[in-house]
């Protein structure tokens, strides 16, 4: 495994294997095989995954860049929100998910916001 | 959705607001404090810094003595783990714990914000009482008695008190 992350609300668990571009998402309210609810295909190898505090967004980052996917409760669907060519080995969500602070392998810190 | 939370449109418009210099080569961890003003980062040379996200510069910096494997905030207290098996509370009350034989692989913060756990390649967990600067308990998970049990269960015979 490369990285694992729980959402704060206790609903989601996500995991990504080494050298993989696929993030597997589990709904912890379900049991057995039904718990694996989604496999996200990210545009490049993923090194780090992090849910925002509300559990609506997951950021997946790697040497090729960063993607953010949103879960919409009303339609129970996953949609790509953002994909940028900002390589990152680790990410951290800012307050209210209004920013993302990332670091890359060279130790450069980038703040993303709108 | 919590009231003032970012919506998809906000996130779609994320752009690179600022970039630092290459500060800590080999960084693989970053932790933001609750209000997003301080980013804790460290690299393979053991240098750790608290980057001020608004001012775009490093505030405090430290040397953790080993490659950084994890970084977290326990409320306002920064902690790092190294591949030499140490966990360090940084800041005014700097404290080092030589916790693990081999790398300290990960850190997690309890929702209370006062307790941190580390896990090592030595298959042990250590819990830290951060406000009091102490390692409280070390639990090994390789005892044959526990091998058939859920690894997250505590086995009292294996619990040792550390001062």
State which residue of chain B sits closest to A81, comparing Cα positions.
B12
State which residue of chain B sits closest to A96, comparing Cα positions.
B5
Tell which of B29, B30, B105 to mutate to test the A interface (max A CBs under 10 Å).
B30
Which tens digit of pLDDT belongs to each residue from B21-61?
999 999 999 999 999 999 999 999 999 999 999 999 999 99
Q: Inform me whether the pLDDT recorded for B147 exceeds 60.
A: no
Q: Could you give the CA distance from residue A46 to residue A63 in angstroms, rounded to a whole number?
A: 8
| Cβ pair A101:B28 closer than 8 A | no
> What's the pLDDT band for B159 if we cut at 50, 70, 90?
very low
State which residue of chain B sits closest to A56, comparing Cα positions.
B1
B1 at interface of A, judged by CB pairs closer than 8 A: yes
Q: Could you give the CA distance from residue B44 to residue A107 in angstroms, rounded to a whole number?
A: 10
Q: Could you give the CA distance from residue B106 to residue B122 in angstroms, rounded to a whole number?
A: 12
Tokens of B147: 């091998």
Q: Inform me whether the pLDDT recorded for B142 exceeds 70.
A: no
The pTM of this model reads 0.85
What is the reported pLDDT for B108?
A: 87
Give the list of residues 6+ apart from residue A86 with CB closer than 8 angstroms, or none: A61, A65, A66, A102, A104, A110, A112, B16
Number of inter-chain CB pairs under 8 A, A vs B? 123
The stretches in chain A having pLDDT less than 50 are: none
> What's the pLDDT band for B143 if we cut at 50, 70, 90?
low
What is the reported pLDDT for B163?
A: 31
Q: What is the ipTM of this complex?
A: 0.89
Q: Could you give the CA distance from residue B146 to residue A49 in angstroms, rounded to a whole number?
A: 30
Secondary element (H or E) of residue B9: helix B8-12
B120 at interface of A, judged by CB pairs closer than 8 A: no
Q: Could you give the CA distance from residue B47 to residue B23 in angstroms, rounded to a whole number?
A: 9
Of chain B, the percentage scoring pLDDT greater than 70 comes to: 86
Residues on chain A bordering chain B, Cβ-to-Cβ distance under 8 angstroms: 47-48, 52, 54, 56-57, 68, 70, 79, 81-82, 84, 86, 89-114
Q: Could you give the CA distance from residue B157 to residue B151 in angstroms, rounded to a whole number?
A: 14
Which tens digit of pLDDT belongs to each residue from A82-104?
999 999 999 999 999 999 999 99
Tell which of B7, B12, B13, B36 to mutate to test the A interface (max A CBs under 10 Å).
B36
């Amino acid at each position: 495994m490369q990285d694992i992350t729980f959402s704060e609300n206790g609903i989601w668990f996500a995991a990504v294997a080494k050298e993989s571009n696929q993030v597997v998402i589990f709904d912890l309210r379900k049991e057995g095989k039904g718990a694996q609810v989604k496999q996200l295909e990210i545009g490049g190898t993923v090194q780090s995954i992090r849910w925002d505090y509300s559990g609506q967004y997951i950021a997946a980052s790697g040497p090729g860049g960063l993607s953010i996917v949103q879960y919409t409760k009303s339609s129970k669907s996953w949609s790509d929100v953002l994909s940028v060519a900002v390589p990152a080995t680790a990410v951290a969500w800012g307050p209210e998910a209004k920013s993302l602070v990332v670091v890359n392998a060279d130790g450069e810190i980038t703040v993303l916001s709108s | 959705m919590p009231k003032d939370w970012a919506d998809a449109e906000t996130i779609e418009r994320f752009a690179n607001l600022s970039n630092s210099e290459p500060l800590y080569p080999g960084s693989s961890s970053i932790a933001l404090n609750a209000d997003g003003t301080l980013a804790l980062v460290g690299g393979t040379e053991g240098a750790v810094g608290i980057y001020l996200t608004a001012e775009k510069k490093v505030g405090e910096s430290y040397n953790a003595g080993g490659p950084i494997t994890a970084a977290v905030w326990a409320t306002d207290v920064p902690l790092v783990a190294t591949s030499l098996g140490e966990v360090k509370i940084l800041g005014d009350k700097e404290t080092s714990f030589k916790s693990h034989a081999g790398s300290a692989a990960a850190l997690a913060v309890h929702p209370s914000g006062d307790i941190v756990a580390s896990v090592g390649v030595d298959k042990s967990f250590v819990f830290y009482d951060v406000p009091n600067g102490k390692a409280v308990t070390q639990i090994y998970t390789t005892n044959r008695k526990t091998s058939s049990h859920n690894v997250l269960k505590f086995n009292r015979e294996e619990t040792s008190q550390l001062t």
